[in-house]
């Protein structure tokens, strides 16, 4: 657990709250009446066994899925319905469990695509490609290069992402999300399928993003060691139901959590 900024996060203001959210697909109940909140500046882990509804929860938060029940309040504004575009515009960025990159583009262009909503010049200027749009493009390139340096992927910026190894693809995907300069960053298993060294790098990046940019992070992760190291608070889902919520140390001791992970019937 991260001791230093623990206390002030505990007292911190709520950035996003999820109240009584339920989501089902036909007969399958993916989420049943789940409530929790994410405070400004914290790293909030969402854990649970396979099929617990973790990814579905992220999909609800960034507007991919519309919950049948419940209210989501982001930056003080409650909403019943939000489209992915509104979520992105409001400052929510994300990565995907199975990397979703623009496979035909270079790493640089992928990250550049993260700037989409930051570019405001109109079509006409886009077409002419000089004047303000050009200045703007240069400015955005500058920010993107910063991210590339930060993630240490300078050598691969011109490489089409389809050709990159999985670990680097995940890094590029993080870069694309960071390019959005989000207030809330949703990471769906950013370390899945990585070796120990890659995991350590990724953990470092996540901590740095949180500390240096003050970005609030919701993190889905299966590796308990990583969860203990990175997160301030943990919410535990099982079969679409919230079974525990608290600091990493608290939830690890929780009997319901232990049972869920050991597969005890309930």
Partner 1 sequence: MDILYKAFIDPFMQMGAAPDLFVQTLWDGLVAGVLYSLIALGFVLIFKASGVFNFAQGIMVVFAALTLVGLHEKGVPAYLALAITIGIMFLLAVGVEKLMLRPLVNQPDIILFMATFGLTYFLIGFGELIFGGDPKVMIATQLGLPRGAIDFKFAGGFVSLQKIDIAATIIASIMVASLAIFFQKTRIGRALRAVADSHKAALSVGISLEQIWVIVWFAAGLVALATGIMWGARSEVSFALEIIALKALPVLILGGFTSIPGAIAGGVIIGVGEKIGEFYWGPLLGSGIETWLAYVIALVFLLFRPQGLFGEKIIERI
Ligand X SMILES: Nc1ncnc2c1ncn2[C@@H]1O[C@H](COP(=O)(O)OP(=O)(O)OP(=O)(O)O)[C@@H](O)[C@H]1O
Is 102 near partner 1 (CB under 8 A)? yes
CA distances 187 to 47, 53, 57, 82, 219, Å, are 12, 14, 12, 19, 5
Least separation in angstroms between residue 50's CB and ligand X is: 4
Q: Which does 43 bind (CB under 5 to 8 A by kind): ligand X, Mg ion, partner 1, none?
A: none
Least separation in angstroms between residue 119's CB and partner 1 is: 5
Choose, by CB under 8 A, the member of 96, 183, 217, 230 that binds partner 1: 96
Is 100 near partner 1 (CB under 8 A)? yes
Q: How many residues bind partner 1 (CB under 8 A)?
A: 29
Q: Which of residues 115-174 bind partner 1 (CB under 8 A)?
A: 116-117, 119, 123, 126-127, 129
Nearer to partner 1, 119 or 228 (CB): 119
Least separation in angstroms between residue 3's CB and partner 1 is: 33
Residues at the interface with Mg ion (CB under 5 A): 55, 97
Residues at the interface with ligand X (CB under 6 A): 25, 28, 30, 48, 50-56, 97
* Structure letter (DSSP) for residue 12: P
Nearer to ligand X, 108 or 237 (CB): 237
Least separation in angstroms between residue 53's CB and ligand X is: 4
- Beta-sheet strands, E only, within 95-183: none
Tokens of 57: 């929860």
Nearer to Mg ion, 98 or 122 (CB): 98
CA distances 111 to 101, 172, 221, Å, are 10, 7, 23
Q: Which of residues 13-52 bind partner 1 (CB under 8 A)?
A: none
Cβ density class 43-71: b for 16+ within 10 Å, e for less: bbbbbbeeebbbbbbbbbbbbebebeebe
Q: Is 61 left (phi over 0), alpha (psi -120 to 50) or beta?
A: alpha
The residue at minimum Cβ distance from Mg ion is 55
Phi, psi at 46, each rounded to 5°:
-120, 115
Q: What contacts 244, CB < 8 A, 6 or more positions away?
A: 234, 235, 236, 250, 251, 254, 256, 257
CA distance 233 to 248: 6
Least separation in angstroms between residue 244's CB and Mg ion is: 18
Nearer to Mg ion, 107 or 202 (CB): 202
Nearer to partner 1, 95 or 203 (CB): 95
Tokens of 216: 């609030």
Choose, by CB under 8 A, the member of 46, 47, 180, 235 that binds partner 1: 180
Q: Which stretches of the chain bind partner 1, using CB under 8 A?
A: 62, 64, 84-85, 88-89, 93-94, 96, 100-105, 109, 112-114, 116-117, 119, 123, 126-127, 129, 176-177, 180
């Amino acid at each position: 657990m991260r001791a230093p900024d623990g206390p002030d996060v505990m007292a911190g203001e709520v950035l996003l709250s999820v109240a009584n959210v339920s989501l089902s697909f036909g007969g399958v109940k993916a989420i049943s009446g789940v409530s929790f909140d994410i405070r400004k500046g914290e790293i909030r882990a969402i854990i649970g066994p396979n099929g617990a509804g973790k990814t579905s929860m992220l999909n609800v938060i960034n507007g991919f899925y519309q919950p049948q029940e419940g209210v989501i309040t982001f930056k003080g504004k409650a909403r019943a319905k939000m489209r992915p575009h509104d979520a992105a515009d409001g400052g929510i960025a994300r990565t995907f469990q199975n990397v979703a990159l623009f496979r035909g583009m270079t790493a640089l262009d992928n990250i550049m695509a993260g700037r989409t909503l930051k570019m405001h010049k109109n079509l006409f200027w886009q077409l002419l490609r000089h004047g303000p749009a050009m200045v703007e493009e240069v400015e955005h390139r500058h920010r993107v290069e910063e991210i590339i340096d930060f993630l240490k992927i300078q050598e691969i910026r011109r490489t089409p992402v389809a050709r990159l190894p999985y670990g680097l693809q995940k890094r590029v995907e993080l870069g694309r999300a960071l390019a959005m300069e989000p207030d809330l960053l949703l990471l769906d298993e950013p370390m899945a399928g990585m070796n120990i060294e890659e995991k350590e790098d990724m953990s470092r990046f996540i901590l740095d993003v949180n500390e240096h940019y003050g970005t609030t992070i919701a993190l889905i992760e299966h590796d308990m060691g990583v969860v203990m190291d990175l997160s301030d608070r943990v919410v535990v889902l099982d079969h679409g139901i919230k079974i525990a919520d608290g600091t990493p140390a608290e939830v690890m001791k929780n009997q319901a959590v232990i049972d869920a992970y050991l597969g005890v019937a309930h």
